[in-house]
Chains A and B, each alone.
Chain A
Amino acid sequence: MSDPTPTPPGRVEDVGMRLGTLGQLLRLFGRGKRPWLLPLVLLLSVLGLVLAGLQAVQYVAPFIYPLL
Chain B
Amino acid sequence: MSRYVLGVSALYHESAAVLLRDGVVVAASSEERFSRQKQDSALPVRASRWCLEQAGISMADVEAVVYYEKPLRKFERILVSQLTGFPSTLPAFQRTALTWLTDKLWVRNALCKELGARPSQLMFSEHHLSHAASAFYCSPFERAAVLTVDGVGEWATTSLWQGDEHGLKPLSEVRFPHSLGLTYSAFTAFLGFRVNNGEYKVMGLASYGEPRHVDKVEKVLQGVDGGGFQNDTRYVAWHKSTVRSYSGAFEQLFGAPRQPGTPLDPRQGEGKHYADIAASVQVVLEERLLALAERLHADTGLDALCMAGGVALNVVANRRLLRDGPFAHLYVQPASGDAGGALGAAQWAWHEVLGQPRVDPGLTPGLGRDWPDDRVRTLLDELNVRFDDVADDRIERAADDIAAGKVIGWFQGRCEWGPRALGHRSILADPSRPDMQDRVNKVIKLREPFRPFAPSVTAEAADTYFDVPPGGEGPAEWMTIIGDTREEHREAMPAITHVDGTARLHRVRREVNPRYHALIEAVGARTGRPVVLNTSFNLKGDPIVSSPVHALSTLQSCEMDAVYLGPCRVARGQLPRGGAS
Contacts and interface: CB of A to CB of B under 8 A. Distances in A.
Nearest to A47: B101
A60 B310 CA distance: 22
A6 B460 CA distance: 48
A6 B115 contact: yes
Contacts of A17: 106, 108-109, 112, 119
Residue of A13, A63, A65 ringed by the most chain B CB atoms within 10 A: A65
A40 B79 contact: yes
Interface in B440-494: none
Interface in B63-109: 72-73, 75-76, 78-83, 89, 92, 95-106, 108-109
Contact of B72 (A6, A25, A47, A57): A25
Contacts of B103: 59
Interface in A5-25: 5-9, 13-14, 17-18, 20-21, 24-25
A14 to B, nearest CB: 6
A62 interface: yes
Contacts of B49: 4
B80 A1 contact: no
B114 A66 contact: no
A25 to B, nearest CB: 5
Interface string B168-183: 0000000011010010
A24 B113 contact: no
Interface stretch (B205-213, B235-243, B507-515, B541-549): B235-243
A1 B60 CA distance: 11
A64 B241 contact: yes
B112 A34 contact: no
A9 B245 CA distance: 39
A20 B59 CA distance: 23
Contacts of A64: 189, 195, 238, 241-245
Contacts of B76: 25, 28-29, 34, 37
A41 B79 CA distance: 9
B242 A37 contact: no
Contact of B239 (A13, A34, A67): A67
Interface stretch (B50-58, B125-133, B362-370): B50-58
Contacts, number: 141
A56 to B, nearest CB: 8
B437 interface: no
A63 B96 CA distance: 13
Given A1-B56, A64-B244, A67-B92, A28 B73 contact: yes
Interface string B371-403: 000000000000000000000000000000000
The A interface is mostly helix, strand or loop, or mixed, namely: loop
Interface string A28-68: 11000010010011001001100110010111111111111
Given A24-B72, A40-B79, A65-B151, A6 B59 contact: yes
A41 B83 CA distance: 12
Contacts of B41: 61
A31 to B, nearest CB: 11
Given A3-B58, A6-B115, A17-B108, A66 B176 contact: yes
Contacts of B53: 1, 4
Contact of A18 (B96, B99, B104, B106): B106
Contacts of B109: 9, 14, 17-18, 21
Contacts of A13: 112, 119
Contacts of B13: 65
Contacts of A55: 102
A48 B242 CA distance: 20
Contacts of A60: 95, 99
Interface of B: 12-13, 41, 49, 52-53, 56-61, 72-73, 75-76, 78-83, 89, 92, 95-106, 108-109, 112-117, 119, 151-152, 176-177, 179, 182, 189, 195-196, 238-245
Given A34-B80, A52-B101, A63-B243, 8 more contacts: A9-B113, A14-B112, A25-B76, A37-B80, A44-B101, A66-B151, A66-B182, A67-B96
Closest 3 A-B residue pairs measured CB to CB?
A: A6-B116, A48-B101, A2-B58
